[in-house]
Amino acid sequence: MVRIFRHYVHRASLSSMLFDVALMILLALGAVTLQVGSLDLAVPLASGPVASYAACMMLIGSAAGLYDPASGAPLGRSVARVLAVLCVALPLAWLVFGLLPAGVASPGAVQFTVMSGVAALVTRRVYVSHRGAAAGRRARVLVFGTGAAAQAVGSTLRSADPSAHIIGYVPGPNESEPMVAADEIVALRGTLTETAGRLGVDEIVVALTERRAGSMPLRELLDCKLAGIRVWDLNSHFEKTLGQIRIDYLNASWLIFGDGFNQGALRTFVKRAFDLLSAGALLVLTAPLMLITALLIRLDSRGPVFYRQERVGLNGRTFEVTKFRSMRTDAECDGKPRWASANDDRVTRVGAVIRRLRIDELPQLFNVLRGEMSLVGPRPERPYFVDQLTQQIPFYAVRHSVKPGVTGWAQVRYAYGATVEDSQQKLQYDLYYVKNHTLFLDLLVLFETVGVVLTGKGAR
């Protein structure tokens, strides 16, 4: 995996994106060259629009899930994703190539768009089909441990990181009951360093459930690192592989002495400037949609158009969040707060639609302009639930060290949650965001939010 601005990106995803961008640029320049009859004329005329189009297509494809290395989507789903991308690509091609001088790329733009879409499908299928053939170039991983933690490491690597190949599991000195398959356990021959070298190991993940004195061979692990083998602790493994910080194996010292959790003045200024510019632009673009939504809510059911509710924000301070009303006015007539559930009977007809499309969240842009929220961050929760979750989930209050967001890393990684267990799962993504948030990660969350909105993933 490659770390870009503190965020880990699959090497396969990055290479696929760059390959597609290069392919689209070549196809576009080819189409324009055919139109004008000379590559020397095509490059200065079309380089700007072509590069812009290729970048937009990469972002759209990413939002559509074309670059998810762990998906292994069947052919039908890949076709559906490419067709969805083409629906956006066709008008975008006409718009971008319309900036060229008259007669430079008239039918070529459509031709290029169709060719690039088909090429994206073909390359994606070739990549998925032949991914197994590249196993010899995958990172060879040795897991140090055979207990529950090691089992969790193995399952995450197999499901989320196709670039990793598990060589086996080495039992720790104090582990008596292995939870991994017996044929996957590797017997030490000599030292850990010698065994790792003999097996051609690239990475070692230390996944010991028991860490009493004598369980951790620190000298041997240091020798492995000095020999060029990457050594990961359990928390760093989950952070790198899943984009989350698992609280079931977390201790406060790892948070205190590890990197990240930087809330410097420069980052605060950049984030605030980005929030103001983005929220202002989004309000202008969505103003007609918001007006139509307000009218439909008024016609559909009695009650106010907007719904205001107290939420917990930065440093535990409360504020009133504003949303379009999507439930009946008597939704909590008994005075007891309730999480929304699947097929909630309190949701109105218009409410069901705007919740699925996330339109009900748009008024929170005003909270962003007022500085109470950010565009990206942990979702703000109600004080009643915060008090409950803080008592039941360790490190829950850490998420309040940054401003809450209209969307967030947890929202694009995990479906809507309505239980304490769901909140614990989402907290693990929130902790990752608090630790590693940068403008790059904010942009990534926004692009993935587009995909979530288009698919209706996790809506309640």
Q: Is the pLDDT of residue 62 over 60?
A: yes
pLDDT (0 to 100) of residue 136: 46
Mean pLDDT along residues 417-436: 89
Mean pLDDT along residues 176-192: 90
Q: Is the pLDDT of residue 459 over 60?
A: no
pLDDT (0 to 100) of residue 57: 78
Q: Which of 370, 367, 366, 343 is nearest to 355 (CA)?
A: 343
Rounded Cα gap, residues 339 and 382, in angstroms: 10
Tokens 């020397």 belong to residue: 40
Q: Is the pLDDT of residue 387 over 80?
A: yes
Mean pLDDT along residues 188-198: 91
Q: Which of 170, 251, 169, 172 is nearest to 214 (CA)?
A: 172
Q: Is the pLDDT of residue 312 over 90?
A: yes
Model confidence at 419, pLDDT cuts 50, 70, 90, reads: confident
pLDDT (0 to 100) of residue 194: 93
Rounded Cα gap, residues 17 and 54, in angstroms: 10
In this structure, are residues 97 and 109 in contact, taking their beta carbons and an 8 Å threshold?
A: yes
pLDDT (0 to 100) of residue 135: 44
Residue length, the chain?
A: 460
Tell me the percentage of the chain whose pLDDT exceeds 90: 44
- More confident call, 206 vs 95: 206
Q: Is the pLDDT of residue 349 over 60?
A: yes
pLDDT (0 to 100) of residue 415: 75
What burial letters (b/e) apply to 104-140, b meaning 16+ CB within 10 Å? bbeebbbbbbebbbebbbeebbebbeeeeeeeeebbb
Q: What is the mean pLDDT of the chain?
A: 83
pLDDT (0 to 100) of residue 458: 55
For the ranges 200-204, 272-276, 420-424, which has the lowest average pLDDT?
A: 420-424
Could you tell me the pTM of the whole model?
Answer: 0.84
Mean pLDDT along residues 300-319: 93
In this structure, are residues 216 and 224 in contact, taking their beta carbons and an 8 Å threshold?
A: no
Model confidence at 377, pLDDT cuts 50, 70, 90, reads: very high
Q: Which of 246, 190, 157, 155 is nearest to 170 (CA)?
A: 190
Rounded Cα gap, residues 201 and 13, in angstroms: 23
Mean pLDDT along residues 171-192: 88
